[in-house]
Every structure is written in structure tokens, then in C-alpha cells.
Structure 1
Amino acid sequence: MMRVISCVTMEHNLWLVLVAALVCSAGSWATIRLFLRAHEATGLQQIGWHFLTAVSAGSSIWCTHFVAMLAYDPGAPIAFDPVLTIASLFLAMAGTAAGFIAATGHAPRIAPIVGGIILGLAISGMHYTGMAAYHVDGIVEWDTTYVVVSVVLSVLFSCLAINVALNDRISGHKYLAAAILVAAIVSLHFTAMAAMQVTPLALHGDYTNPAALRAMALGVAVAGLIVIGTGLASYLIDDRTRSEAFRRLHHLAMNDTLTGLPNRANFNEYLDREIDRARELGGKVAIIGIDLDRFKEINDLWGHGAGDLALKTLAGRMSALLQDGEFVARLGGDEFAAIKRMKGQADLLDFVSRLEAALFAPIRIDDFEAAAGASLGVAIYPTDAHNRETLVNNADLAMYRAKANVTQTVCFYEQAMDEAVRANRALANDLREAVENGQLDLHYQVQTSVSTGDIRGYEALLRWKHPTRGNIPPIEFIPLAEENGLILPLGEWVLRTACAKAASWEHPYKVAVNLSPVQFAHADLPKLVHEILLETGLRPNRLELEITESTIIADKNRTLTILRRIKALGVTIAIDDFGTGYSSLETLRAFPFDKIKLDRSFMSEVETSPQAKAIIRAVLALGQSLHIPVLAEGVETHSQLSILRAEGCNEAQGYLLGRPAPFGEIFALMHGHNGIAATALAAPAQAVA
């Protein structure tokens, strides 16, 4: 050890030694950084980073060696072999490249050790090749012990440097690894120099110019630092590019691309923080669910570009009104949400009022003005909920209540009033599962001739037996299906199943299927009906589709076109629930109906109400004059059936003639239904006033 210290202090120019140390330190720091980037990269990028790592490491090791050699004073003239000097540089680069590549191999325990050994040997090989290029006018003697020790130190420190660099659990592992790599280079060089003893041969004569040697050393150091700086600049540029890319990706991940508002993920994070803050400080947080009322209308009238403009305009307005402790986000589609850190009720009401003003102000679209409007639902932590999920859900419930109430735009969560909404949403989810899992069934109710009692057909009626609630009436789950977008797959299943069952009946009775207004608005019904008829093999004249007059009113021209296309297939059309709602003579005149179904409400009053009896008589007379048969629904007594027979009604349907039942029971009792109808018709007729 004393020999090494003596060699450094007594036989070297200490200023040049410091320059060599500077080059070594800068190069080692850059090398470790570039090596770690190569370790993280893959494919061609990894090759590129390994190249930069080798250039940085090789040049820093070689420059350190060369400057330190120029700092050494052997007491005799010196010279350098250019070929071996250049070869030592390439050996340093190639050897370090091999070491760092091996260190990033697929064996995480062995690879760093193998790489460290190769790196240490590369440093040693570079040094002793450089020493072979070092020609001194004297006798050079080598101490083998110091030579071996120098190589061992280089290998040990190199292995340790790579292992520390790859262990990110060590605090400051990058800086520590760079310091250890410096130790590997420096310990090798000065231990190896201590192994060399020079005995000058020329006692008199010209010595190498010290000033020239110092200038050469500084030139080599500057060149080395430039090379190292180039590699480091590449690292820094890539690091900045990666940081900017990460920021852009983070912004895209946490913000809505159209409006620039925070998105759902950002909203959830912010709300979690506000709830935690309120819990710690004993404060309150309000969440306001926002759903635009007329956004679809804007889209339909002016196109999606106008819809996007409306969303951006509203988002800009809401962003501009935000104050400290306020937050607004777009959750998707035309759905927004806001958060308010509350001090009191007045703060919340002021925020809601500002939101209303922004949402209801007219929006300029080209030469038109439109007002989107909105429904707002408010829930407060911890009054209405104690966690984010429940709080958001309760705000949604209040918002749906506001949407259903034409007189209110803002509703606060009220447990008693919103439980019904919650129950409906739960039932809608159950219905979705029932549709997907085939838990629905069809029942059939007989339709008979009033005059003869013969079976004319059956109406297919959808039934749902809930696993826990039992039978759910259609009047309850059909509106749910229409509201939640389930009516289309549900209606298609009913139509296909009813046609398939009817095609298997022994007698060619008709099957009647109800259609929802939503099916007319969102489906190509004629195409669907045609495909199902072909698929099931049912003759078109055996299928009867029933629609209500409300379906027609929604879009008369479109409905008329659809009905004509369906009738062209040979399918018959019946108008259902006639006599209620929008019933008019114009409807019967303009649309190609094959049957009128008289609403059951008239039959329930026909025995006690002269007005109901008069309406029935008028509808029957109308049907006869237009040559459209009339079917009366809801026939439950012999008296009602007698009245219909006396008035000349064509067909009847009701509990008296047969209750809805599964197909299996219908098939078993098919002949019995004729008996029931005949018995009913044989009962004494009621006098018709």
C-alpha cells in the first residue's frame, strides 16, 4: 500500500492526476447512467444504449489511463507506440461492451458477476496494452505481485459496481456504483504503476518536454470529456423526452380528450382525496351529478360536430366558474360531475346556482342557438354516504329523480324518495341477467270467434319469474327494458320464440306478438321479421304483429313505411288498446290495419256504464264499415260475451275463454278451449239496450 501511495505522490504530477480523476469520475457517472438505460431498454434501442455505454466507458478508462501515464515521471525520455495506443482504446470499448451486455443477461444472479469479471479484465487489458505502447529509455522491471493484485482489484470492484447499479433497493445506488467503478479504474492503474520500476539508461541528454506532455494530457482529457458529454447528452435528451412523453400520457389518461376536463379516473382520485380531507378535518364534501337533457336533440338536429361543440362550450363555462375547493369532470357522453368542498349550505347552493347558469345559457351553433339544459343530483358526504361509491350512486339517484321531474332541475338525495329509483335500477340489472341467461318465458292466451267459439289464434305474452321476487308483471319490467336498452334483444327473442313455437303447432292458428315503440325507432323491423319467418318456417299469414297508437304518433311517415313493408311480406297488423289515448278515425284510414283490438278497460265497465257500451257499439260499427274485424280484450264474464255477440263483435280474448299459460299446457288443453268457448256462447244472452 505504501508503495502505491509513494508512487502516486512522488512519481506523478498531482495536477494531472486530478485531471485524470475528473475524467474518470465524469465518465464513470455517465457510464452507469447509460448502462442502466440499456438494462431497461429492449431490441434495437438496447443495442444503441449498449453502444453509447461502451463508448463512454472505454473512452473514460482510456483517457484516465493516458492522462495518468502522462502525469508519471519515469526520469527518462518516453514515447508511445501509436498502433498499440489505438488498440488499447478499442480494447477498452469492446471489452466494456462485452461486460455490460453480459451483465444484462437472462440470469439475474450470475449475469452481473460474469459481466463484472469481463469488465474488470477489459480495464486490465486496456491498461497493460497501453503500457506495452509506453516506451521509456530505461530498464523496466515488473513486480508480479502488484500486477496480480491490480487485476484482482479491478475485477472485484467492477463486479461490485455492476451489482450495486442493478440493485435499486440501495439508496443512491447509481452514485455509489459510479464511485465503485472509479475505484476499479483507479486501483488498477496506480497499483499497476506501483508494479513498474524504471531504471533510466540515459544519464545526460534531452528529456521529453514536460510542457508538451501536460498539453497533450489536457488535450486528451478534453477530448475524453467531449466523448463522455456526448453520451451523457443523449441520455439527458432521452430522459427529457421520456419525461415529456410520460406527462403527455398521464394527461391523456387523466383528462377528457374532447373537452380537456378531468376524466372519470381523475374525478375518482380527487374525490377520494377530498373525502379523506373531510374525514380528518370534520368537513363536508358535496358531489353534483350532471346529465344534459337535450344533448341528443342537438346531435340529431345539427350533427355530431355540433354536439362536440356544445360539450366543449359547456366544459369551458364550467371550468371558468370554478373557485377554490371546486372541481368539475366529464365522466363520459353527456354526463358530467362536480365536487364542492363545503363550509355551509350557502356555499353549495351558490355553486349549484353557478352551474345551472352555465348549463342553461344558450349555445351558439352556426346561425342557430340551442340550450342543452341539464338535470342535477346532489349528495353530501358524510350526511348521505360514507364512501365514494355510495356517494356517487346517491348523487346519480337524485339526478335521475330530477330528470323525471319536469318542474325541477336540481334534486338533493333523499333516502326515502330515491329508494324506489334504486330498486328499479337493481331490477333492471336483474332483467339484463335474465335476458342473457334465458330466464324469461312465453305464455299464450287464446283468441276465439265470438259467434262460433272456434280458436282463431293465440297472443304470445312475455313472462318473467324472478329468482327471489317471483313473478314480475310485464307492466313493471317492460318499461324498464325500454328505458335500459334491453327491449331490442328482448323483442327479437319474443318474436323468434313465438314464431318457432307456432310453426310446431298441429293446427295452423295465428300467433300475435306485441311490438314496442322502441323497436320501430331503432331496428329494421321488416328485415328482422323476414329473417325470422325464413328461419322458423312459419307462414307469414300466421303471424300478427300488434302495435299501439302511441307508436304511430312518434313518427307517422316512418311507421307507415315500416308497416307497408311488413304487410308486403304477408304478415297482418293489429292496432292494440284501441279506444284509449290517441285513437282517431284518421289512424284507421291512413294505416293498413287488419284488426282492431278493443281495450280491456271498456269491457270492465260495459255491464254498468252506458257510455262504455255505446263506445263498444261505435267501434264495432266502425270496424264493420271499414271491413276491419274487431277483437275485444278482457272478457271475463258470460254477460260481457253475450253483449259482444249481440253487437256483432268478431273475436274475443280474456280469462273467461282462457288464461295465459305455457305452451305445453296450451297444447294439452287445446281441444278443451273449444269446449270452454262453446259453453260460454251457449249461456243466456244479455239484453242489449
Structure 2
Amino acid sequence: MRILSCLTTEHDLWLLALAVLVCGGGSWVALELYRRARQRDGRQRAGWLFLSSVAAGCSVWCTHFVAMLAYRTDVVASYDPVLTLVSLFVVITGIALAFHLAPATRQPGRRMAWLMAGLLLGLSVSGMHYVGMLAYRAQGLMLWDATYVAASVALAVVCALGALGFELRGRRVLGLGLFTLCILTLHFTGMAALTLVPFGAPAVDPSSFDGLAVAVTCAALLVAATGGVAHMIDTDVNDQTVDALRQMALVDGLTGLPNRNSFTSYLELKLARARSEGRSFAVVIIDFDKFKAVNDVHGHEGGDALLRAVAARMSAELRDGEFLARMGGDEFAAICPLSGGRKPEDFLRRLERALQAPVRIKEFDVLAHASFGVSLYPQDGATAAQIVGNADLAMYRAKADPARGVSYYEAAMDEVARGRRELVLEIRNALEQGAFELHYQLQARLAPEGAEGQPRLDHEVGPTEVIGYEALLRWHHPVRGFISPGDFIPLAEESGLILPVGEWVLRTACRDAAQWPAPHRVAVNISAVQIMYGDLPRLVASALKDSGLDPARLELEVTETSLMEERAHCLAVLNEIRKLGVMIAIDDFGTGYSSLDVLRVFPFQRIKLDRSFMRDVTGSAEALAILRAVLALGHSLKIQVLAEGVETVEQLALLEAEGCHEVQGYLLGRPVPLAQTFNLSSAGLSLAL
């Protein structure tokens, strides 16, 4: 009853309403700023804690002094300026510490932190009130009721604990209500504890404090407004950042098309609707052919210009319900509904039509060609991953046959893909279990005409000298039987397993060759993946050191196609290997892209003429002309030429007649295991037919 009578008989109700307004508005701003602080870390958290503490402290301070100005007594009163400022400092500092100690969320393990923070918050508000009352100088006797003082502090602490607890649980309205109640109950219960006995007649009109009350209120509102504006600015910046991030997350920055994330979300939505409505649709994966060549010739800016142009053209061909996205790189994906008489063929024709016209890149016209893979729902898959994966399989089939252009998914593709995956796993197991072995095929040099003092007839071939062996990887699978290197080597390259497999081949070949009875050279094939992604010079140096093989006896064979990408890097790698004293040979010569330029740039010491020329050399004038040109080129560049694929005496005789003295092929010897190699060649090799 004392509290109620104090409010109704000893306070100006209008100023009390103003104090409540200041308290509620300031508390709302303070807690909003505090929520922002809890969402930040480091310096930003410290900054927002400072703003929220100042806003909360000023709200408590202004509420107190507006309510004090509403306190109507017949006593002359004034305020000590120092203690008044100290009361403001006390509440701001205490609230800052309380907010800092409070956990980010209400967790069982952080209950002690919540209790300490709530206790400190309630005591800070109480401390501000009673320090402020010390600043109150009245010409009268101030009598305090200890019971009401204790009750005011207890209520403040309880409300503060509740406010923090609800705030940490995300119950914002309850948190705001209890924090406001913490301030108001503390003040009015504390004022009920005070009884003022004047010393004499009043000398000041109490209404003279009205202007001061308005001034304090304006200051409080200004502080609250400052915090509110900071919150609004930060919210706006956050919203803009979220919009920008959403744009980045869902839209491709180069073409403006939806990106992979958007495509995935749209496909899931489309799939759900198709299931419920019993409809069908097609997913199309689009991959541009030889796009890297565009980047190599016109630079990445040219490639980007091509992608922007074709993306805009394909987008212009879309109709209602159709969707196009860029998945990344030069790959796009599209969705076409098949209801209402639509057919995937119509959709594909429109996309192909968009690619028919050349794209102008600087002063060049570039024609974009793409491979299309198509899968249909529901027959080609029940989930988004299955549908996209099947369209991807169909696209790779189309890419393998450029004349096809468009490929529809077929169930047999899954079997092929599954078989490839299984074979990759078996390659790994074969490497771990030592199931690979090396066979060696003889390389020989034909003796010059008239050797050994014997004349030679036209149908005779002179003696040959073994100059080395090529190490060839072989795999006899316990179930599949012999697996051709042409089947498993490409898979090893795609999966990256060629790096450990290639290391095993190199180290094994060096170790075997070091034990041979004759100092023949050993030739080892090197993959492009090893050149690009393996530390090949270090590996070669290590294999030579561990085996004790003379570097001059090791020859590494690389193909032209393996040197087409990152030529500068490949050149640096091969030069490092040459410095070790190892020979470098170009394999399958004549089947690559730019043979003459490759010979000019790279440090080759031997040319291995591809076996395809040997098949036709005895009956084709064109093949013979190429053979003569390569031999003349090798002679001019002082590079030895070795012909592969020699299988008949006629081929051997022709090579000898044309001046090609290094040969390799089935006629001289098939690849055999190490144990059989020197049984065939220990006495040398001589063919006299």
C-alpha cells in the first residue's frame, strides 16, 4: 500500500507517464542493440556491447531522474552534479559487465554465467538509483525503511534474471517487459522506502522542475534514437549483404543465369510437383566441345564472351516453364516440361538453333558446338541425383561421338559407368596387392649394309643389335583375365591412380634394368598426369638413386598430346629431367596436334614413329612419304628415329633401305616377363631370311 500511495499522492502522474515512456523506449533500443552484439564476434561484438550498455544505462538514468522530478514534496531540493554523473557511470559500467558475462544462449552448462550476469544487472540498476539518491540534496530529514530498500534490490535482481533468461531464449517481448519492470519496480519500491520531513516552508515552486524533466526526457530520447538509428543502419546493411550473398549463391556472376544451387532447388521443386500431378519433364546437360581451345586461342576473356553470348541466345529460346542454368565452367543444364504436347526434340532443336550462328570475339568468328545429354522423368530416374546423373552419362556418350550431338540416356550406360567404377576400385586393389607386372619388349638397331664382310641379297636382313627394352605394364586379373592397358590406363589417369601406378612402374623398371647382364637402356612411358600433377623430376632422381641405375640407361617416353596443356610447365619438367642425364623420347609421333613445333621446343633425343604408319608403309605411297619425311627431319635435327610396330620382313627391309636403323615390333620379339627377356636375347639377334 505504501508503494501505491507514494505513486498517487507524491508524484506528478504526467511526469510518471513520461518516465515510463522513457523507460520502455530506451529498454527496447538497448535490448535490440544487445541482440545485435550477441550475433557478433571480436571487435564488432565489443562495439555493439558498448552501444547497448550506453543505451541501457542512459535509459535507467533518465527514467530515474524524470521520476525524481515527478516526486512532489514541499521540500527545497537540488542535485549534486558529481554524484549524478557517478550514478550514470555506475549503471553503464555495470550493465556492460553484465552483458559481457551473459552467455549467448540459455544453456545448462552456462547457468552460472547467467546467474552472475543477472545479479550484476539488477545490482547495477539498484546502484544507479541509490547513488542518484545520494546526489539528491533536500532541506529536510530523509528517513529510509530498510525493508523497502531490500525489497527494491531483490525485485530488481529477480526481474533482471528473468529479463536475461527470456532474452537468451529468444522470448523478446517477455525479456523487454521484465527489463522495464526491473527499472520501474526498483525506483518506485525504493521511493516508497523514503520519507521526507521538511525543515521549513517551501521556497521553490515544484513546477519549475517541469522544464528540467522535459530536457532530461529529450536527452534520453536522443540517446535512444541514436541507438535505434545505428540498429537500423546495421539492419539495412545486413539486409543488403544478405541480398548480395543470396544473389551470389543463386545467380551465376558471368552469364546472369541461375547457378547450380538454383538449378538443384528448382529441380527438387519440379520433381515434387511432377510426382503429385503425374507429369513428366526432361533434364538436359549441355557441355561445350573443345572449349579449352577457345581459351587457349582467345584468352579467358574470349571464353567468357562466348559463354555470355550463348547463354543469352539459349535464354531467348526458352518458353513458359522451361529453365536454364549454368552449372559451372562450360557446362549448362536445362529443364523442359513435357506436358501440353511439348517434346524434348523441339526444345533441343531450339537450343541447337541458338548455337548455330558464330559468336564474334574481337575480330574472329567462333562457332560454338555442344554435346547434349537427355534424361526423362519418370522413366530415367526417381530422384534429382539419378536424373541429373543419367543426363550426365548421356552427355558423355554424345561427347565421345561428336557426330551424334544429342544422346538420350539408356540403361546400358549405367552398366558401363558401374563397370568403370568397379574397375577403378580393382586398379587400387591391384596396386596394393602387387598384381601388376612389367613385360619388356626388345628394341634393336639394324647393322649397316655389308656388316660381317658378307654381301647381302635383296631378300636378306642383316644382323641386329639389342639397344634396349620398353617396359610395358600388364595386368592379369584373377577373374577378368588379361586386361588391356588401353582399358585401365585411361581410368587410372581419370581417377588420379596413375600417379602411384606410374611411380611403381618407374621404380620397378629401374630396379630390373640395374640387374640386367648387359647395359641396355630401359624405356618407360610417362603419363601427362604425372607431368602435370606429380613431382616427376624428384621421382626420377629418387628411382635412379634407389636402384643404382645409370641415368643414361633410362629413357622416358611422352606423347605429343600430353604436352598440349600447360606447355611451359611441361617444358620446365622435361628440362629438369634432362639435367639428370635421362633421355627423353617422343612417342606415337605423327598422331598429335603440332609435331614440328613440339620437336622445336622440347628436348627430345629420340622419335618413336607411331605403329599406324607401319601397317600401310609397304603398300601406301602416302605412308612411305611420311616415313621419309620423318627420317629426313630426324636426320636434320640429329634425333634418332625408331619405328614401332614392325611385324613383317618386308617392313623391316623397307626401313633398312630407307635408313631407319632402330626398330621395335613383334617381328623382333613380343613383350615378355623379365625372367624370359634375356633367354631370348642373351646371344644377340640375327635374322637371315
- Shorter chain as denominator, the TM-score bin is 0.7 to 0.9
Shift in Å, 1:439: 5.8
Which amino acid in 1 is paired with 2:308? K
Q: Which residue of 1 aligns with 2:437?
A: 441
Task: Give the TM-score normalised by structure 1.
Answer: 0.81
For the structure 1 residues 493 and 117, does the alpha-carbon distance in structure 2 shift closer, same or farther, using more than 3 Å as the test?
Answer: same
For the structure 1 residues 412 and 133, does the alpha-carbon distance in structure 2 shift closer, same or farther, using more than 3 Å as the test?
Answer: same
* 2:484 equivalent to 1:473: yes
1:140 to 136, 139, 142: 142
Shift in Å, 1:185: 0.6
For the structure 1 residues 439 and 11, does the alpha-carbon distance in structure 2 shift closer, same or farther, using more than 3 Å as the test?
Answer: farther
Shift in Å, 1:385: 0.7
Q: Which residue of 2 aligns with 1:331?
A: 327
Larger mean CA deviation between 489-498 and 294-303 belongs to: 489-498
Is the 1:499–1:538 Cα contact (8 Å) retained in structure 2? no
How do 1:467-616 and structure 2 match up within 5 A?
A: 469-478=480-489, 480=491, 494=505, 497-513=508-524, 537-538=549-550, 540=552, 543=555, 551=590, 554-561=593-600, 565-567=603-605, 573=608, 576-580=611-615, 583=623, 584=626, 585-591=628-634, 592-600=639-647, 603=648, 616=649
Task: Give the TM-score normalised by structure 2.
Answer: 0.81
Q: Which residue of 2 aligns with 1:653?
A: 669
* 2:278 equivalent to 1:240: no
Q: Which residue of 2 aligns with 1:66?
A: 65
Q: Which residue of 2 aligns with 1:310?
A: 306
Which amino acid in 1 is paired with 2:549? G
Q: Which residue of 2 aligns with 1:648?
A: none
Shift in Å, 1:553: 5.3
For the structure 1 residues 530 and 626, does the alpha-carbon distance in structure 2 shift closer, same or farther, using more than 3 Å as the test?
Answer: farther
1:120 to 119, 122, 131: 122
Q: Distance in 2 between the 1:199 and 1:544 partners?
A: 109
1:222 to 203, 218, 223: 218
Which amino acid in 1 is paired with 2:676? I
Which amino acid in 2 is paired with 1:595? L
For the structure 1 residues 27 and 437, does the alpha-carbon distance in structure 2 shift closer, same or farther, using more than 3 Å as the test?
Answer: farther
For the structure 1 residues 587 and 344, does the alpha-carbon distance in structure 2 shift closer, same or farther, using more than 3 Å as the test?
Answer: farther
Shift in Å, 1:39: 2.9
Which amino acid in 1 is paired with 2:369? G
Q: Distance in 1 between the 2:311 and 2:658 partners?
A: 57
Q: Distance in 2 between the 1:438 and 1:174 partners?
A: 67
For the structure 1 residues 479 and 108, does the alpha-carbon distance in structure 2 shift closer, same or farther, using more than 3 Å as the test?
Answer: closer
For the structure 1 residues 430 and 208, does the alpha-carbon distance in structure 2 shift closer, same or farther, using more than 3 Å as the test?
Answer: farther
For the structure 1 residues 526 and 552, does the alpha-carbon distance in structure 2 shift closer, same or farther, using more than 3 Å as the test?
Answer: farther
Which amino acid in 1 is paired with 2:45? Q
Which amino acid in 1 is paired with 2:614? G
Q: Distance in 1 between the 2:92 and 2:664 partners?
A: 98
User: Could you say what secondary structure the match of 1:16 adopts?
Assistant: helix
How do 1:158-557 and structure 2 match up within 5 A?
A: 158-168=160-170, 173-203=171-201, 206-210=203-207, 212-343=208-339, 346-416=342-412, 419-420=415-416, 423-424=419-420, 427=423, 431=427, 440-446=436-442, 457-466=468-477, 469-478=480-489, 480=491, 494=505, 497-513=508-524, 537-538=549-550, 540=552, 543=555, 551=590, 554-557=593-596
For the structure 1 residues 484 and 307, does the alpha-carbon distance in structure 2 shift closer, same or farther, using more than 3 Å as the test?
Answer: farther
Shift in Å, 1:292: 0.2
Shift in Å, 1:421: 5.5
Q: Which residue of 1 aligns with 2:51?
A: 52
Shift in Å, 1:526: 12
User: Could you say what secondary structure the match of 2:604 adopts?
Assistant: helix
Q: Which residue of 2 aligns with 1:610?
A: none
Q: Distance in 1 between the 2:58 and 2:297 partners?
A: 70
Which amino acid in 2 is paired with 1:634? Y
Is the 2:443–2:470 Cα contact (8 Å) retained in structure 1? yes
Q: Distance in 2 between the 1:408 and 1:104 partners?
A: 64
Larger mean CA deviation between 223-232 and 345-354 belongs to: 345-354
Q: Distance in 1 between the 2:10 and 2:604 partners?
A: 107
Which amino acid in 2 is paired with 1:395? A
Larger mean CA deviation between 119-128 and 468-477 belongs to: 468-477
Give CA deviations for 1:608-627 in whole Å, capped at 9, x if unaligned.
xxxxxxxx53x444323333
Which amino acid in 2 is paired with 1:346? R
Shift in Å, 1:375: 0.5
Shift in Å, 1:278: 1.8
Q: Distance in 2 between the 1:319 and 1:502 partners?
A: 61
Larger mean CA deviation between 338-347 and 446-455 belongs to: 446-455
Is the 2:502–2:530 Cα contact (8 Å) retained in structure 1? no
Shift in Å, 1:223: 0.7
2:666 to 611, 621, 634: 634
Larger mean CA deviation between 375-384 and 488-497 belongs to: 488-497
Q: Distance in 2 between the 1:451 and 1:175 partners?
A: 103
For the structure 1 residues 508 and 294, does the alpha-carbon distance in structure 2 shift closer, same or farther, using more than 3 Å as the test?
Answer: closer
Is the 1:620–1:630 Cα contact (8 Å) retained in structure 2? no
Shift in Å, 1:73: 1.2
Q: Distance in 2 between the 1:39 and 1:368 partners?
A: 57
Is the 1:84–1:130 Cα contact (8 Å) retained in structure 2? yes
- Number of residues of Structure 1 aligned to a counterpart in Structure 2: 630
Q: Distance in 2 between the 1:83 and 1:51 partners?
A: 23
User: Could you say what secondary structure the match of 1:369 adopts?
Assistant: strand
Shift in Å, 1:415: 1.7
Is the 2:399–2:405 Cα contact (8 Å) retained in structure 1? yes
Is the 1:254–1:262 Cα contact (8 Å) retained in structure 2? yes
User: Could you say what secondary structure the match of 1:372 adopts?
Assistant: coil
Q: Distance in 2 between the 1:523 and 1:282 partners?
A: 49
Is the 1:548–1:577 Cα contact (8 Å) retained in structure 2? no
Give CA deviations for 1:70-98 in whole Å, capped at 9, x if unaligned.
11211333322222222222222122222
Q: Distance in 2 between the 1:74 and 1:404 partners?
A: 98
Q: Structure 2: give runs of 5+ residues left out of the alignment.
A: 447-460, 558-584, 617-621
Is the 2:611–2:646 Cα contact (8 Å) retained in structure 1? yes
Which amino acid in 2 is paired with 1:192? G
Q: Which residue of 1 aligns with 2:657?
A: 625
Is the 1:78–1:208 Cα contact (8 Å) retained in structure 2? no
Q: Distance in 1 between the 2:250 and 2:683 partners?
A: 71
Q: Which residue of 2 aligns with 1:640?
A: none
Which amino acid in 2 is paired with 1:267? F
Larger mean CA deviation between 489-498 and 472-481 belongs to: 489-498
Q: Which residue of 2 aligns with 1:38?
A: 37
Q: Which residue of 1 aligns with 2:82?
A: 83
Shift in Å, 1:233: 1.8
User: Could you say what secondary structure the match of 1:110 adopts?
Assistant: helix
Is the 1:91–1:122 Cα contact (8 Å) retained in structure 2? yes
Q: Distance in 2 between the 1:559 and 1:439 partners?
A: 36
User: Could you say what secondary structure the match of 2:374 adopts?
Assistant: strand
Is the 1:515–1:547 Cα contact (8 Å) retained in structure 2? no
User: Could you say what secondary structure the match of 1:288 adopts?
Assistant: strand
Shift in Å, 1:544: 8.6
Q: Distance in 2 between the 1:529 and 1:235 partners?
A: 60
Is the 1:27–1:56 Cα contact (8 Å) retained in structure 2? yes
Q: Distance in 2 between the 1:7 and 1:25 partners?
A: 21
Q: Distance in 2 between the 1:193 and 1:524 partners?
A: 82
Is the 2:608–2:643 Cα contact (8 Å) retained in structure 1? no
Q: Distance in 1 between the 2:497 and 2:305 partners?
A: 30
Shift in Å, 1:464: 2.8
Percent of matched pairs sharing the same residue: 41
Q: Which residue of 1 aligns with 2:676?
A: 666
